[in-house]
Amino acid sequence: MITGIGVSAGIAIGRAYLLKKQETALTGLTITDEAAIATEIEKFDKAVELSLIEVNILIDSYHEANGSEGLEILEAHIELLSDPQIKEDVAEKIFAEKKNVNDAVIEVIADAVTMFKNMEDEYMRARAADVEDIGNRILKNLSPTGKAPAHTYPPDTIIIADDLSPSDTISMDTTCIIGFATRAGGKTSHAAIIAKSRGITAVVGCGNLLTEVKNNDLLILDGQSGAIMVNPDEQTIITYQAKREECQAHNLLLKSLKDKPAITTDGIAVKLLANIANADDMEQAHDLGAEGSGLLRTELLFMGRDAFPSEDEQFEFYKAVALKAKGKPVIVRTLDIGGDKPLPYFNLPAEQNPFLGYRAIRICLDRTDIFITQLKAILRASAFGKLKIMFPMIANVQEIRAAKIVLNEAIEDLHKAGISFDKTIEIGIMIEIPSAAITADLLAKEVDFFSIGTNDLCQYTLAVDRMNEKIKDLYDPYNPGVLRLISYVIDQAHKNNIEVGMCGELASDANATLLLLGMGLREFSMSATSIPTIKNTINNNAMGFANQIYERVMAMDNSTTISAYLKEVNK
């Protein structure tokens, strides 16, 4: 098996076709005649003109259904082809160095490609492919033999290539070509982006193992995992055929839901948000239709290193997320570590009960130096997007007040330093300790929003460690006690006019969606991949039904009946 980077959903099963690139070589010929200079420049202009016509033809024949990405790339190619800097550099090589036009173009393009390849940013490095693409187009139009004959492929062809240019991918005939795999390339290359928007199964960055593939080999391409199977056995083919069907059905659902709002059939709008851990997750969240993030876990930032991240480092991290959110809200949860998630540079003594111990807000209120650094970094980043701050593990009102004192200190410091931040930033808490749930009426007066963390709330309410194999079956979010707590918290939030969301696993449980809607929950935050499924449930049901489910469930006395009933109504 060959493994690369899967860049598009889907499975392709077909025959390999090896695509060989034509190499362009320097001729080394120089111009001796002054008059030849003008001729060479004329040749360049002519080749550019022909190239522009070609790209314009590609634009005209471009189908909107393939997504706007391809079109934008082609428009960028138009600008690159007519770029005054490129023309100037080529002319300079011809004039001053007496190069022939072919060599001049090769050298100018090579320089630009090198410049992009040396850039820090992965996206920018991938732009080298665009410069190479337009360069090859000009070179092809410089040579008298010009056009390569159009090739026709048999159905179910999988292209195997060293690399594919953006225009190769854009002009790919998808009636015959069902996928491609390349030795080079990354997930931000245009070939990858276009493959995704055109629905071509693609695996890039496969490395040298790809050279083992021969023409006409039977291939299975898994665009998600990046796996490529060469001449697989019968059983594997059957397994992947089933997987392919599943993928197609799921993609269809995703496509039909992506830009639709989550709204019940009787018009109640619901906010679906993503739980994320960094800026990259935000991107996937957008793709799956999230309206922001209901939980940014900040622990990743503190793990896998040998000292606490500085304020500036943290600021860069939060800022990247804020920018990626494109104006949509992001709830930043302050540090949630404890004895179960130790940091190598922060000496936490081993505890009998880390879940009942020194953790999260308890550490932050004890070590306010760590806390204020994080708060300042979040506040500074709030100038770049809609951030909200959320404190975890709150058990009582005093803790909120103490946290707010530190927050005010952070605000004061930024004020003094003249640093800008969002002065209307909202403050909220996680409701995950039973005492917090039961005193939701009191806590609601202190904050702008609640977010119900069902995993810990369930574990603390039922006194069940869900990591303990022997008792993990006792961990049960459908327990009437847990459901009553959740329902009470939602009620109290409404009564006090503050927002309430849910970021625990129950939010992504499709069997619980209608019940939670019936309780009055309108904001669900979950792993982005669950969003389409939950949206589908919301969009196909009415509030009347949700309310009815809620009433029935609250009258039931045990979770076995409740979960059987919910499974039945959600069929």
Is residue 412 helix, strand or coil? helix
Dist CA 183 CA 161 (whole Å) = 7
Interacting residue with other proteins among 120, 259, 469, 568 (CB under 8 A): 120
Q: Of residues 206, 247, 364, 503, which has the active-site annotation?
A: 503
Q: Which stretch binds other proteins (CB under 8 A): 126-134, 226-234, 451-459, 496-504?
A: 126-134
Interacting residue with other proteins among 42, 45, 72, 287 (CB under 8 A): 72
Residue 202 in contact with residue 90, Cβ under 8 Å? no
Give min distance, CB of 154 to other proteins, in A.
Answer: 34
Q: How far is CA 22 from the centre of its chain?
A: 35
Nearer to other proteins, 44 or 524 (CB): 44
Give min distance, CB of 185 to other proteins, in A.
Answer: 16
The secondary element (H helix, E strand) that includes residue 162 is none
Q: Return the beta strands (E) in 308-417 as ranges.
A: 330-333, 387-391
- The residue with tokens 């806590």 is 443
Which residues are CB-neighbours of 165 under 8 A, at least 6 positions away? Answer: 129, 132, 133, 136, 191
Query: Counting contacts by CB under 8 A, is residue 450 touching other proteins?
Result: no
Q: Of residues 77, 190, 206, 286, which has the active-site annotation?
A: 190
Nearer to other proteins, 108 or 335 (CB): 108
Nearer to other proteins, 121 or 245 (CB): 121
Residue 195 in contact with residue 180, Cβ under 8 Å? yes
Nearer to other proteins, 186 or 232 (CB): 186
Query: Counting contacts by CB under 8 A, is residue 64 touching other proteins?
Result: no
Give min distance, CB of 112 to other proteins, in A.
Answer: 6
Residue 442 in contact with residue 492, Cβ under 8 Å? no
Query: Counting contacts by CB under 8 A, is residue 92 touching other proteins?
Result: no
Query: Counting contacts by CB under 8 A, is residue 280 touching other proteins?
Result: no
Query: Counting contacts by CB under 8 A, is residue 83 touching other proteins?
Result: yes
Interacting residue with other proteins among 42, 45, 49, 75 (CB under 8 A): 75
Interacting residue with other proteins among 93, 98, 99, 127 (CB under 8 A): 127
Phi, psi (degrees; rounded to nearest 5) at 294: -90, -5
Query: Counting contacts by CB under 8 A, is residue 340 touching other proteins?
Result: no
Query: Counting contacts by CB under 8 A, is residue 346 touching other proteins?
Result: no
Give min distance, CB of 358 to other proteins, in A.
Answer: 36
Residue whose C-alpha is closest to residue 221's, from 234, 204, 197: 204
Query: Counting contacts by CB under 8 A, is residue 191 touching other proteins?
Result: no
Query: Counting contacts by CB under 8 A, is residue 112 touching other proteins?
Result: yes
Query: Counting contacts by CB under 8 A, is residue 85 touching other proteins?
Result: yes
Query: Counting contacts by CB under 8 A, is residue 438 touching other proteins?
Result: no
Residue 256 in contact with residue 45, Cβ under 8 Å? no
First to last CA, the chain: 39
Dist CA 318 CA 369 (whole Å) = 19
Query: Counting contacts by CB under 8 A, is residue 324 touching other proteins?
Result: yes
Query: Counting contacts by CB under 8 A, is residue 123 touching other proteins?
Result: yes
Q: Which stretch binds other proteins (CB under 8 A): 109-117, 304-312, 331-339, 432-440?
A: 109-117
For residue 250, indicate whether it is catalytic. no
Query: Counting contacts by CB under 8 A, is residue 327 touching other proteins?
Result: yes
Interacting residue with other proteins among 40, 54, 130, 426 (CB under 8 A): 130
- Determine the Cα angle at 529 with ends 313 and 245, to 5°: 140
Give min distance, CB of 429 to other proteins, in A.
Answer: 28
Query: Counting contacts by CB under 8 A, is residue 116 touching other proteins?
Result: yes
Query: Counting contacts by CB under 8 A, is residue 297 touching other proteins?
Result: no
> Which residues sit opposite 502 in a β-bridge?
452, 524
Size of the site for other proteins (CB under 8 A): 29
Dist CA 166 CA 281 (whole Å) = 25
Please list the alpha-helical segments (H only) found in 382-462.
397-417, 434-438, 440-443, 454-462
Give min distance, CB of 282 to other proteins, in A.
Answer: 8
Query: Counting contacts by CB under 8 A, is residue 86 touching other proteins?
Result: yes
Query: Counting contacts by CB under 8 A, is residue 119 touching other proteins?
Result: yes
Phi, psi (degrees; rounded to nearest 5) at 566: -65, -40
Residue whose C-alpha is closest to residue 437's, from 388, 392, 482, 494: 482
> In Å, what is the CA distance from 470 to each residue of 328, 392, 467, 497?
42, 28, 9, 42
Q: Give the dihedral sign, CA 232/198/209/246.
A: negative
> Which residues sit opposite 11 in a β-bridge?
222
Query: Counting contacts by CB under 8 A, is residue 113 touching other proteins?
Result: no
Q: What would the two tokens of residue 452 be?
A: 């119900």
Nearer to other proteins, 48 or 447 (CB): 48
Q: Which stretch binds other proteins (CB under 8 A): 18-26, 78-86, 92-100, 232-240?
A: 78-86
Give min distance, CB of 541 to other proteins, in A.
Answer: 33
Dist CA 520 CA 123 (whole Å) = 43
Secondary-structure percent of the chain, ordered helix, strand, coil, rounded to 5? 50, 15, 35
- Rg for the chain, CA atoms, rounded: 29
Residues 365-394 that bind other proteins (CB under 8 A): 384
Residue 296 in contact with residue 332, Cβ under 8 Å? yes
Query: Counting contacts by CB under 8 A, is residue 323 touching other proteins?
Result: yes
Query: Counting contacts by CB under 8 A, is residue 259 touching other proteins?
Result: no
In the shown chain, the binding pattern of residues 394 to 433 toward other proteins, with x for contact by CB under 8 A and - for none, equals ----------------------------------------
Query: Counting contacts by CB under 8 A, is residue 260 touching other proteins?
Result: no
> Which residues sit opposite 13 in a β-bridge?
220
Residue 525 in contact with residue 501, Cβ under 8 Å? yes
Query: Counting contacts by CB under 8 A, is residue 84 touching other proteins?
Result: yes
Nearer to other proteins, 115 or 356 (CB): 115
For residue 503, indicate whether it is catalytic. yes
> Which residues sit opposite 19 in a β-bridge?
161
Residue whose C-alpha is closest to residue 77's, from 40, 130, 132, 120: 130
| Active centre residues (catalytic) | 190, 503
Question: Which residues bind to other proteins, rule: CB under 8 A?
Answer: 72-73, 75-76, 79-80, 83-86, 112, 115-116, 119-121, 123-124, 127, 130-131, 279, 319-320, 323-324, 326-327, 384
